[in-house]
């Protein structure tokens, strides 16, 4: 099969996307570490728990929602547990599984961190875009995500129908 090389416009768009992909995590991490003593991934874990029924999820489900291996999630969960932000315990429905639950201190931490995080998301991305560009970004992500996530592991983050199922 012959390689379909990028034309000048495709290459320019691709390189700009790569720059965003490389720079955005650092910007999010810097703000959260400075203001809340959390990494972006730690905040993401706390945020997913904060949105779950009873602020509790099985570790496997939390891993799927955060796109984390169980090893990575276990290490981060241990650190969050040591800080009193989450509690882990045996799942009552399945003794082989472990649940993670947001503690009151964890809830207060995520509530305190959220405004600064949203402000950074706005300042670094959304406020630079017109309403039409936000809609285009949404459409672009909807076109690309099925190729990146064919098993729909992260569908609860971006599919409104799955979000409703998770919340209920």
**Per-residue pLDDT reduced to its tens digit, 91-118:** 888 888 999 999 999 999 999 999 999 9
| CA nearest neighbour of 101 among 138, 146, 155, 46 | 46
Kindly state the percentage of the chain with pLDDT values over 90: 85
Q: How far apart are CA 62 and CA 88, in angstroms?
A: 12
The mean pLDDT of 136-153, rounded to a whole number, is 93
The mean predicted confidence, pLDDT, of the chain is 93
127 against 95, higher pLDDT = 127
pLDDT at 165: 53
3-state secondary structure labels for all residues of the chain: CCCCCCCHHHHHHHHHHHHHHHHHHHHHHHHHHHHHCCCHHHHHHHHHHHHCHHHEEEHHHHHHHHCCCHHHHHHHHHHHHHCCCEEEEECCCCCCCEEEEECHHHHHHHHHHHHHHHHHHHHHCHHHCCHHHHHHHHHHHHHHHHHHCCCCCCHHHHCHHHHHHHHC
Report the 10 Å Cβ neighbour count for 40.
19
pLDDT at 11: 97
Could you tell me the pLDDT band of residue 167, with boundaries at 50, 70 and 90?
very low
Set out the domains of the chain in order of their start, with CATH numbers: 9-128 (1.10.10.10)
């Amino acid at each position: 099969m012959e390689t379909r090389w990028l034309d000048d416009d495709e290459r320019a768009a691709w390189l700009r996307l790569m720059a965003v992909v490389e720079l955005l995590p650092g910007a999010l991490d810097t703000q959260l570490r400075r203001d809340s003593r959390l990494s972006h991934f730690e905040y993401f874990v706390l945020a997913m728990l904060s949105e779950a029924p009873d602020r509790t999820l099985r570790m496997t489900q939390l891993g799927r929602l955060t796109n984390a291996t169980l090893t990575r999630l276990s290490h981060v969960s241990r650190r969050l547990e040591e800080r009193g932000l989450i509690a882990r315990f045996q799942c009552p429905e399945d003794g082989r599984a472990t649940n993670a639950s947001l503690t009151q201190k964890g809830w207060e931490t995520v509530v305190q961190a959220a405004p600064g995080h949203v402000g950074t998301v706005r300042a670094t991305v959304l406020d630079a875009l017109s309403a039409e560009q936000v809609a285009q970004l949404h459409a672009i992500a909807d076109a690309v995500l099925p190729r990146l996530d064919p098993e729909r592991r992260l569908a609860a983050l971006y599919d409104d129908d799955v979000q409703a199922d998770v919340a209920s």
